[in-house]
Amino acid sequence: MAVLGPNRYGKAETRVVRVTRHGDAHRIKDLTVSTSLSGDMTEVHLSGDNSAVLPTDTQKNTVFAFAKKHGVGAIEDFALLLARHFADSQPAIHHARVAVEEHAWERNGAFGHSFVRSGREVRTCVAHYDGTRSWVVSGLRDLVVLNTTNSEFWGFAKDEYTTLPETRDRVLATAVDAAWRHADASQGASQDWDKAYENARGALLAAFADTYSLSLQQTLYAMGTRVLAECPGVCEVRLSLPNKHHFLVDLAPFGLDNDGEVFFAADRPYGLIEGTVLREDAPAAGPAWE
Amino acid sequence: MAVLGPNRYGKAETRVVRVTRHGDAHRIKDLTVSTSLSGDMTEVHLSGDNSAVLPTDTQKNTVFAFAKKHGVGAIEDFALLLARHFADSQPAIHHARVAVEEHAWERNGAFGHSFVRSGREVRTCVAHYDGTRSWVVSGLRDLVVLNTTNSEFWGFAKDEYTTLPETRDRVLATAVDAAWRHADASQGASQDWDKAYENARGALLAAFADTYSLSLQQTLYAMGTRVLAECPGVCEVRLSLPNKHHFLVDLAPFGLDNDGEVFFAADRPYGLIEGTVLREDAPAAGPAWE
Amino acid sequence: MAVLGPNRYGKAETRVVRVTRHGDAHRIKDLTVSTSLSGDMTEVHLSGDNSAVLPTDTQKNTVFAFAKKHGVGAIEDFALLLARHFADSQPAIHHARVAVEEHAWERNGAFGHSFVRSGREVRTCVAHYDGTRSWVVSGLRDLVVLNTTNSEFWGFAKDEYTTLPETRDRVLATAVDAAWRHADASQGASQDWDKAYENARGALLAAFADTYSLSLQQTLYAMGTRVLAECPGVCEVRLSLPNKHHFLVDLAPFGLDNDGEVFFAADRPYGLIEGTVLREDAPAAGPAWE
Amino acid sequence: MAVLGPNRYGKAETRVVRVTRHGDAHRIKDLTVSTSLSGDMTEVHLSGDNSAVLPTDTQKNTVFAFAKKHGVGAIEDFALLLARHFADSQPAIHHARVAVEEHAWERNGAFGHSFVRSGREVRTCVAHYDGTRSWVVSGLRDLVVLNTTNSEFWGFAKDEYTTLPETRDRVLATAVDAAWRHADASQGASQDWDKAYENARGALLAAFADTYSLSLQQTLYAMGTRVLAECPGVCEVRLSLPNKHHFLVDLAPFGLDNDGEVFFAADRPYGLIEGTVLREDAPAAGPAWE
């Protein structure tokens, strides 16, 4: 017989821009917010009785209203605020998950009211709240990095389908997709999330640059451990690193050598290296990664 | 102290097209294959020692070589074949995950050698193999469906941020993203995966159409239970249904009524309904959904 | 000194879905409509005086209102209706361009109210109207086709950078982007645009299939001439055909031959063949292609 | 009778990355190059005789070989170099068009070999060469800018479908797609294209910021004239500015005012403002914009 398993529902990708005006010097926060609620949802699935269902339209309205009432500081604080509101105010909602993406802008010259979208990575976070406890994962995606040297790949396993030559010098490039779990998210909103973000981002960039790499896995592990070293509140780091292959072009047919100078940047297929680095004493993750 | 947690690596999105020629009547299979391997990978992360690492380039080669040697039938069989090869032939590889997407083509007229890409949904599968056991999840994505009537939404929870009016007639549209777990994947490749696929697809479409819907959750549950009813080998169904909002346009300012005739198809935000339906006696999922 | 050159403005990508109910058998038309107006627009550019500017928001409203008032038949008729309205009703608007894309749906089983998005190509049209004359271009995009044989490529020019081997048998695949100009668009809306569309689409597909191809240019020309042959009202055809390369995989390192069986479908770069076929006596195109 | 009209063919989107090593301080140029050739192409269309056709594969090889032999400086120089090569070295090729996009990278910290992809706009150029004359258009796309104030929209034309209220303060945002034609491209490669690019980019940003805007058309014209003022060698500017609507959210139902603080960033539809600003004495454009 069929039974209902895990489920959740919400409003995905609400695009909210919050402007703050301090005299002529304005500030903008540009977010994409996705909310997901779960709880006493058996009836709506079985019979279509919506009495436990706070509409996704209401969730969207709440995002806009909270942006006004509370302002938008660090996205982690905004996500926690929303998660707590939904689970604390709706009797049938026992768990809220709020994901926020932040799109970066820079000032356009000296003008206080004019901005240019910065192309830097997207900053992300996911907050969970179950009526008692909170979990927060911060992260980033689309941080594209490339090393022109200090990367080798050799000594790998070989079988009858292996044709790849070994190399002692290659371009290493990836689009970093990283997330890090905060050990102490339940202790309230007193954290300096922005500072933690800059620390983690800096650690990822530095470790990518200064690790002499024998494999992308080694670089991944170095990036994860560096985040743990730089961010005391972080207990676990997850990384997904596509190997954005830059193939050395064979110019020999044209009488030219190519000593690491001309590369073809390929689209697909690509290597994909995924891994986790965590503290030995990391607390259980609970729903943090869901 | 930092330790290495779960990890895997592989080649993502190898695009392989396999042609079979039976006289003048050719056949094509058009796949995107992603392989992920895991096992004794501590050293490569810690020191960059690649001796346990079968290159992702080799994985790609294997996809091409197997397409030649074994042909491509049902994608589930091809995925299992690859997964077993990697985990059985490489001592350091203890687990293989192979995901395949199939892009549909139709014959172009009566010509045996000419094809038109069909726009129907993408068929998907993920196979896992750990050296002993297998797990198979089949599925589809981008199956876009719409009902012009037989959908209501009312009686929902309301709070101070609720402005949505109740409705007794609305357009219901979604892009079905569904996956179903086979209970008996370990019993070998004797299944008729293609028939199972058509059964599941037919069940999803029929349940979407003939469910008088009071909420998208109710429709989701009906779709999941229908798959279980039509596919005896399936023990669990997971559905992710974006509510592709079609808003009734207010034409009153122009002296026109709009009795379910003209809609604005919105992009973002969108409702997102996610849920699982499973048999009471479904075996444990193991790594099937990872 | 700076002067204002050609300009236009409008509302792009209004997504309108029109439902028609004939008892239980409903019908849907799913369009993306883009309008562009031009005329006495010097002042708005120079001083910001908007008195000649019908807001783009109004253009969007008009699309919705016209879908209700006039229904939606062939997209060419709907585009012409809108173009004439804007240029005839607004004194400052002297020229209107309306582009419409149609997304195809099929019935979901025998249900009169349930539909499945068909993956076939997007049907397109662009209509122009200048207060007196009309121009109509119909077309399609994303019609992906592939021939497994009957394609060669050899005898080409060679220089010091040429390494491509000649081939007497290759896969030929493309995503057809085609548009055809109607000679007689000014004569009113009496045309059967839907029939013309099916004729042109059929001609493109048939010519792609039954042309034994020595180059994609030859196939392009055959497709264009076939449309002219099948569609008496069409005077010019423009085609843009990406050569979606399917490279024969070298399986020799694995002791396997590959006689046109296993291909790698590449993303980038791709060949791009663009060309025009027209009747000798085609009338001047005027603004039709703008 | 059918005749062949305008046509061209080439290799689109060759992704080339060029590394230059000056000791430990490396430099990278990351380009997407598209070449299009035309000339004596009647036979290949009519009979498939390829003797005039330099393969698109050869064009790709040439891009890579030239990146090695000549290095990559300003993209305009690289485009002209390629265009001249094709039209001067192949008797059947009478015209070459080369389009280049440049993706920006920044140094990753103080490391000479490590880079971060900058998210700033994509720099573009298109060069034409017909065996004698050259034409160069430079530009950019995806420069996303936003003003939080100093934008009004009122006094517009109204008809029966107009519902938009007038506003004296709105957010104005757009993704600038701009291209500017150089008057003197035939005079050889002695220009400082990089400096011209920074001048034009700076002019666009400054004009967007310091124009008090009564309509996006006015802003467009100001941006175009500013480029002409700052760049003496430029004779024509074309701009395509989507109006990325930021709608003020109605918070009144929640007892909140919203004085320019909370906005919904909409996707579609969007206004689209296109226009040209040129010098009175601009020379004829010839094929520059094709």
**Tokens 């060759």, located at residue:** D14
Tell me the shortest Cα–Cα distance from A246 to chain B, in angstroms.
Answer: 13
pTM of the model: 0.98
Q: How confident is the model at residue C226 (pLDDT cuts 50, 70, 90)?
A: very high
- Which residue from B161, B253, B268 is facing D267, i.e. has the nearest CB? B268
Question: Is B64–C17 a contact, with Cβ atoms under 8 angstroms apart?
Answer: no
Question: Is D19–A118 a contact, with Cβ atoms under 8 angstroms apart?
Answer: no
Q: What's the pLDDT score for residue B184?
A: 78
What single string gives the DSSP state of each residue in B167-235?
BSS--EEEEEEEEEEETTGGG-S-S-HHHHHHHHHHHHHHHHHHPPBSSHHHHHHHHHHHHHHH-TTEE
Q: Identify the sign of the CA torsion C106, C112, C113, C114.
A: negative
Q: What's the pLDDT score for residue D191?
A: 86
What's the rounded mean pLDDT across residues B5-16? 98
CATH architecture of D7-132: Roll (3.10)
Question: Is B114–C209 a contact, with Cβ atoms under 8 angstroms apart?
Answer: yes
D21 contacts in A (CB within 8 Å)? 148-149, 260-261
Residue A182 annotated among the catalytic residues of the structure:
no
- Topology, domain C139-290: Urate Oxidase (3.10.270)
Whether the per-residue pLDDT at A286 is higher than 90: the answer is yes
Q: How confident is the model at residue D188 (pLDDT cuts 50, 70, 90)?
A: low
Positions of D annotated as catalytic residues are 11, 56, 245
B121 contacts in C (CB within 8 Å)? 119
What's the rounded mean pLDDT across residues B261-265? 98
pLDDT tens string B62-87: 999 999 999 999 999 999 999 999 99
Q: What's the pLDDT score for residue A1?
A: 83
What's the rounded mean pLDDT across residues A21-46? 96
B111 contacts in C (CB within 8 Å)? 209-210
β strands within A162-211, DSSP E: 172-182
Q: How far apart are CA D129 and CA D140, in angstroms?
A: 21
Question: Is A54–B15 a contact, with Cβ atoms under 8 angstroms apart?
Answer: no
Q: What's the pLDDT score for residue A191?
A: 86
Omega within 30 of 0 (cis) for the link into D269:
yes
Question: Which of B164, B244, B250, B254 has the most D C-beta neighbours within 10 Å, making it the best mutation to test the interface with D?
Answer: B254
Question: Is D157–C275 a contact, with Cβ atoms under 8 angstroms apart?
Answer: no
Would you list which residues of chain C are within 8 Å, Cβ to Cβ, of chain A?
160-161, 163, 253-254, 267-268
pLDDT tens string A249-285: 999 999 999 999 999 999 999 999 999 999 999 999 9
Which residue does chain A place closest to C159, by CA atoms? A254
For chains A and B, CB pairs below 8 A equal: 260
Q: Which chains contact A through at least 3 pairs of Cβ atoms less than 8 Å apart?
A: B, C, D
Question: Is C270–D11 a contact, with Cβ atoms under 8 angstroms apart?
Answer: yes
pLDDT tens string D190-208: 689 999 999 999 999 999 9
Tell me the shortest Cα–Cα distance from C272 to chain B, in angstroms.
Answer: 19
Question: Is A148–D26 a contact, with Cβ atoms under 8 angstroms apart?
Answer: yes
C209 contacts in B (CB within 8 Å)? 108-109, 111, 113-114
Q: What's the pLDDT score for residue D119?
A: 80
pLDDT tens string A207-250: 999 999 999 999 999 999 999 999 999 999 999 999 999 999 99
pLDDT tens string B119-173: 889 999 999 999 999 999 999 999 999 999 999 999 999 999 999 999 999 999 9
A61 contacts in B (CB within 8 Å)? 161-163
| CB burial of residue A86 (10 Å; 0-12, 13-18, 19+) | buried
Helices and strands in chain A, H and E counts: 5, 13
| CB burial of residue D118 (10 Å; 0-12, 13-18, 19+) | middle
pLDDT tens string D91-122: 999 999 999 999 999 999 999 999 999 988 99
Question: Is B145–C209 a contact, with Cβ atoms under 8 angstroms apart?
Answer: no
The helix (run of H) or strand (run of E) holding residue C60 is helix C56-70
What's the rounded mean pLDDT across residues C231-241? 97
Q: What's the pLDDT score for residue D186?
A: 62
- Topology, domain D142-290: Urate Oxidase (3.10.270)
Return the amino acid letter for D13: E
Q: What's the pLDDT score for residue B191?
A: 86
Which residue does chain A place closest to D150, by CA atoms? A113
Mean pLDDT taken over chain C: 96
B273 contacts in A (CB within 8 Å)? 7, 9
Whether the per-residue pLDDT at B22 is higher than 70: the answer is yes
Question: Which of A164, A254, A256 has the most C C-beta neighbours within 10 Å, making it the best mutation to test the interface with C?
Answer: A254
- Which residue from D160, D253, D268 is facing B254, i.e. has the nearest CB? D160
Q: How far apart are CA B40 and CA D102, in angstroms?
A: 41
pLDDT tens string D24-82: 899 999 999 999 999 999 999 999 999 999 999 999 999 999 999 999 999 999 999 99
Tell me the shortest Cα–Cα distance from B208 to chain C, in angstroms.
Answer: 8
Tokens of D193: 């294209």
- The percent of residues in chain C predicted with pLDDT above 70, rounded, is 98
Question: Which of C16, C33, C114 has the most B C-beta neighbours within 10 Å, making it the best mutation to test the interface with B?
Answer: C114
- Which residue from B161, B267, B268 is facing D254, i.e. has the nearest CB? B161
- Which residue from A161, A253, A254 is facing C254, i.e. has the nearest CB? A161
Provide φ and ψ at A168, rounded to 5°.
-105, 0
- Topology, domain A140-290: Urate Oxidase (3.10.270)
What single string gives the DSSP state of each residue in D185-225?
GGG-S-S-HHHHHHHHHHHHHHHHHHPPBSSHHHHHHHHHH
Whether the per-residue pLDDT at B56 is higher than 80: the answer is yes
Q: How far apart are CA C18 and CA C32, in angstroms?
A: 11
pLDDT tens string A194-215: 999 999 999 999 999 999 999 9
Positions of C annotated as catalytic residues are 11, 56, 245
Tell me the shortest Cα–Cα distance from B219 to chain D, in angstroms.
Answer: 28
D57 contacts in A (CB within 8 Å)? none
Q: Are B28 and C182 in contact (CB under 8 A)?
A: no
- Which residue from C160, C253, C268 is facing A254, i.e. has the nearest CB? C160
D160 contacts in B (CB within 8 Å)? 254
pLDDT tens string A75-97: 999 999 999 999 999 999 999 99
Q: What's the pLDDT score for residue A186?
A: 62
Whether the per-residue pLDDT at A190 is higher than 80: the answer is no
The helix (run of H) or strand (run of E) holding residue A16 is strand A14-22
Q: How far apart are CA A223 and CA A237, in angstroms?
A: 9
Question: Is A145–D171 a contact, with Cβ atoms under 8 angstroms apart?
Answer: no
Which residue does chain A place closest to B92, by CA atoms? A157
Q: How far is CA C107 from CA A129, B259, C26, in A?
A: 43, 22, 9
Domain ranges of chain A: 7-132, 140-290
Domain C1-132 shares a fold with domain C139-290: yes
pLDDT tens string C173-211: 999 999 999 997 765 556 899 999 999 999 999 999 999
CATH number of B1-132: 3.10.270.10
